[in-house]
Amino acid sequence: MNVLVIGANGQIGKQTVALLVKKTGVNVIAMIRKEEQRAALEQLGAKVIIADLEDNFSSAYNNIDTVIFSAGSGGHTGPEKTIAIDQNAAIRAVQYAEHYNISHFIMVSSVWADKPENGPESLKDYLIAKGNADKELQKSQLNYTIVRPVLLTNEPATAHISDYTTGRTTITRADVALFLNTIVGNVKTYKQTYTFQNGDTPIEKFIK
């Protein structure tokens, strides 16, 4: 199975690559933006493709089975970059996946993407952009999984999560990466949306 990780140099993306390269039968293609990011990902064992999310990046999809979109504009960019990456690039990623008949598309989204009014005002543009991309994926013909983690932290992985209920709870980026690693190739996650936080349920049991 060939897995394309879009946004592979991001904090979640890089941890996901590190896990996926250890899976039997999985070849990881890490899509990044800058040449100087190449060495670290190749050292992990991934093949690297350099492409610009604000341009045509469809050539990255050649011979790909599964796509993980974990790219983001970052917390220090303005609304224009948020729309360009978190919405428009994500939507193009979905459209390319349809064209290439990708078997499984995994979207890393966000809590409140479906209801931006419930999130912090400072994240409104981001949540709207994420929500629009999610809608494009949901109306596609793809086998998709939408992953909506709550507020992210850099604590070590716990491998335990639970359904999000309410409030401003947290999840480690390492646990999001573990979740992504677990759902690759898992047909039970097709057409599913998961919104979760750190909790008491082992990730494998949470998915089942």
* Tens of pLDDT, residues 17-66: 999 999 999 999 999 999 999 999 999 999 999 999 999 999 999 999 99
Looking at residue 79, what is its pLDDT? 86
**Distance of alpha carbon 9 from alpha carbon 165, whole angstroms:** 30
Percent of the chain scoring above 90 in pLDDT: 94
The domain ranges of the chain are: 2-207
Q: What mean pLDDT value characterizes the chain?
A: 96
More confident residue, 100 or 78: 100
Mean pLDDT of 1-5: 99
Q: pLDDT for 158-176, tens place per residue?
A: 999 999 987 779 999 999 9
**Distance of alpha carbon 79 from alpha carbon 2, whole angstroms:** 33
Whether 126 is catalytic? yes
Catalytically annotated residue among 61, 96, 126, 164: 126
Mean pLDDT of 176-203: 97
Whether 75 has a pLDDT exceeding 70, the answer reads no
Looking at residue 157, what is its pLDDT? 97
CB 34 within 8 A of CB 16: no
- Is 195 strand, coil or helix? strand
Whether 156 has a pLDDT exceeding 80, the answer reads yes
Percent of the chain scoring above 70 in pLDDT: 99
Q: pLDDT for 114-138, tens place per residue?
A: 999 999 999 999 999 999 999 999 9
**Distance of alpha carbon 63 from alpha carbon 39, whole angstroms:** 23
Whether 143 has a pLDDT exceeding 90, the answer reads yes
**Distance of alpha carbon 80 from alpha carbon 7, whole angstroms:** 18
């919405």: which residue's tokens?
87
Mean pLDDT of 2-20: 98
Tokens of residue 10, six digits: 């991001």
- Which CATH code is given to the segment(s) 2-207? 3.40.50.720
Looking at residue 150, what is its pLDDT? 96
